[in-house]
Chain A
């Protein structure tokens, strides 16, 4: 019974010189071989040249997705939503819902990547700035163009993107008038705001300017309680 283990002990000193020949698992002449954990780690490191996408760290700084793949999957999302909705409003609502579920997850990823610098935003303006810069940079590789406060109401803010990535290739037909497919992105913003306890409704509107036919304004309207809380906390 102890024979196989003896053989291993005998053969081990000779085989250490040619480690690559020794593999864990079942060897017909030797029987089952259990390699020490330190050795397994060594084997794994030699095989590391074949790293696949799952081995990459989440903190990798320039995570890029093929724009075509993104466009095609977004296409399918729009077509699917369009098939199941009766009007423009419903379609935008569906896209918004799709984006909403992404919001909290993106927030989690960004704060993880921020590492030590991450902080929980509690001021309204700061969370908007966070969306305007960090979120935009993670999602689209650049900062959004403008961040404005409405002059009419204290609960309305606007983030402007002159050339939104998601609608770069998309031409909205005339009969769909006011549709802006960036409702999806608006949903993401809404999701982030919501999970940070800044309840708001976000919508996307096309506001064309010369040279920027796709310019989109994300209109953010906060809930009344959020504004009141803000006033109580910081504007005494």
Chain B
């Protein structure tokens, strides 16, 4: 499970940051017979990314409306003991497709972090937790390197180099 892409969506559904990460070159692929070289995601136009973010923002909300009646009746809020819980009580959290997985993390302020990873072989619930931990780290970097930048305007696309640098250190460097 490698992180391929990160999106940050502001509370009104606007895409404020999008980046693709290079996939780690697996050293063991040379020996393995099945060369499953997962190609990186298709690059879209800037406009397409905006549309995509807006769509997911909407679908996120719709997904919570789809909660089955049976769950609504017996609903108990899931216990959250961690420091930065995802404030995503009923919205979309994970999308699984054949070629990638997408995870969504929402902060209490309505900011959404989304990462796209390569398909996981592990348990999907576990993978979601792992992905959320990664997104929490991104949130920390965001609150340091974006929120403390005097030249950043709230809700606008993030252009800061410091943020980008720390993010790459976090995702690619480790």
Residues of A within 8 A of B (CB): 68, 71-72, 74-76, 78-79, 82, 168-173, 176, 181, 213-214
Contact = CB atoms under 8 A, between A and B. Distances in A.
Interface of B: 144-145, 148-152, 159-163, 165
22 contacts: A68-B148, A71-B148, A74-B150, A75-B150, A76-B150, A78-B150, A78-B151, A79-B150, A168-B162, A169-B144, A169-B145, A169-B148, A169-B162, A170-B149, A170-B162, A171-B149, A171-B161, A173-B151, A173-B159, A181-B150, A213-B165, A214-B162
Nearest to A172: B151
Contacts of A78: 150-151
A75 B148 contact: yes
Contacts of B160: 170-171
A60 B138 CA distance: 36
A170 B165 contact: no
A72 B150 CA distance: 8
A71 B151 CA distance: 13
Contacts, number: 42
Q: Which 7 A-B pairs have the closest CB atoms?
A: A171-B160, A169-B148, A78-B150, A71-B148, A75-B150, A171-B162, A171-B161
A172 B151 CA distance: 7
A71 B146 CA distance: 11
Contacts of A72: 148
Given A74-B150, A213-B165, 8 more contacts: A72-B148, A75-B148, A82-B150, A170-B151, A170-B160, A171-B151, A172-B151, A181-B150
A55 B158 CA distance: 43
A185 to B, nearest CB: 15
A172 B149 CA distance: 8
Nearest to A78: B150
Contacts of B144: 169
Contacts of A173: 151, 159
Contacts of A176: 151
A42 to B, nearest CB: 44
Contacts of B163: 171
Contacts of A172: 151
B155 to A, nearest CB: 16
A169 B165 CA distance: 11
Contacts of B145: 169, 171
A176 B152 CA distance: 13
A171 B150 CA distance: 8
Nearest to A170: B149
A145 to B, nearest CB: 19
